[in-house]
A = this chain, B = another copy of it.
Amino acid sequence: MEYETPLFFHVMQYADRADRDVVDMVSGNPDWEPPEALREGLRDYASLEPDRFQYGPSEGLLELREEIAARRGVDAEQVIVTNGAGEANYLAMARALERDSGDEILLTDPVYPYYPGKTTMLGGTQRFVATDETGQLDPADVRDAASEETAAIVVNSPNNPTGAVYPAETMEALVEIAEAYDAILVSDEVYDHYDLSGEFASALESDSAHRIVTNAFSKSMAITGFRVGYAIFPPELVENAKSRHMLVNVATTRPPQYAVLRALRETPPEYYEENRALLRERVDTFTDALDAAGAEYTTPRGSFYVMARFEDYPGTLENVERLIDEAGVAGMPGEAFGDSRSAWLRFALVTPRVEEAAERLATYFG
């Protein structure tokens, strides 16, 4: 079996090994501070009794699951704490495929490349539905692509890489399509704290046995390395997913769960608001420079990413490497996200050097 490894790590390695200073805009790693309560949680954990260093419950620490359940308006029994959104999406897609109700997974184009990789690994087939230029998904196009073969529809809003935020009507329509074809809508909402549009709608707003919501604290608390995420399953689907989680990982790491619980309880709303404000500022800085460079681009309504297109500079891996060497800015090739964006590059606004990167691009392309 062959399955594609996402390109992120390759590009990051290339940038690391470059002979010059490079502004890293490759991956979605926040560069801002995690919540102070998270650091305190970890520090306190280090002095706990030895029994706290052992396995917690496989599905996650009960208090953390209850805290998540209360915030999301679901029952704690529906929540599995996972090794980041990565495992949450893996469990959700596996759960959809193992129901003997089709083996096709509907994905968007452009797409976050882990989804097609997971699909292939799980033995499913991929079918892509194009989004429009702003990244919006038309439910009518999804309905046209859906069939009895459809096991799942996987979406991500706020979206990586387009920055689109799907309105409530889109989410509701997607749940209805999943219901009509005995499929599962997998809604990856990991950027929910970075909705800059005010229009984010969770798939949880539609009560249904045909949707699984995945999320993580990786982005919201700036801790992508901690690997604490979660999936919310309908009661009908949760038991097998718990078994798979147990059989793959036994349990999610405990010290990070403890620290996240502390941070969830003690972090004021201002923490999240300040990070959104910082992101807004960076969007303005970066898109101003793209204007100066004469580039086409999408202004993100959520998430961390700007897609940009420079004349006669397609979004190939080769051009990304050339940009690293010649301009000192590292982005992601648009082709990594699907054919429709092969002319584009993706830049992640998670560096304090956004202004510098913007100037470098304006100089290089201007």
Contacts and interface: CB of A to CB of B under 8 A. Distances in A.
A233 to B, nearest CB: 15
B226 A53 contact: yes
Given A42-B42, A42-B46, A53-B225, A90 B34 contact: no
A242 interface: yes
A354 interface: no
Given A30-B50, A121-B247, 19 more contacts: A3-B240, A3-B247, A4-B243, A5-B246, A6-B246, A9-B246, A27-B55, A34-B50, A50-B222, A53-B224, A53-B226, A55-B224, A83-B248, A86-B248, A114-B247, A121-B243, A227-B249, A227-B251, A227-B254
22 contacts: A6-B246, A34-B50, A34-B53, A42-B45, A43-B46, A43-B47, A46-B46, A53-B224, A53-B225, A53-B226, A55-B225, A83-B227, A83-B253, A84-B249, A84-B250, A86-B248, A227-B249, A227-B252, A248-B248, A253-B253, A253-B256, A255-B256
B30 A54 contact: yes
B240 A225 contact: no
Contacts of A248: 83, 86-87, 90, 118, 121, 248
Tally of this chain's copies:
2
Interface in A309-356: none
B249 A5 contact: no
A167 interface: no
B50 A32 contact: yes
Contacts of A246: 5-6, 9, 117
A246 B58 CA distance: 21
Nearest to A257: B225
A52 interface: yes
B46 A31 contact: no
Contacts of A114: 247, 250
A6 B243 CA distance: 8
Interface of A: 1-6, 9, 27, 29-34, 39-40, 42-43, 45-47, 50-58, 83-84, 86-87, 90, 98, 114, 117-118, 121, 222-227, 240, 242-244, 246-256
Contact of A225 (B3, B5, B242, B251): B251
Contacts of A117: 243, 246-247
Most chain B CB within a 10 A radius of its CB, from A84, A227, A242, A256: A227
A346 B52 CA distance: 24
Nearest to A55: B224
Given A6-B246, A42-B255, A247-B3, A225 B84 contact: no
Given A43-B46, A55-B29, A250 B223 contact: no
A72 to B, nearest CB: 22
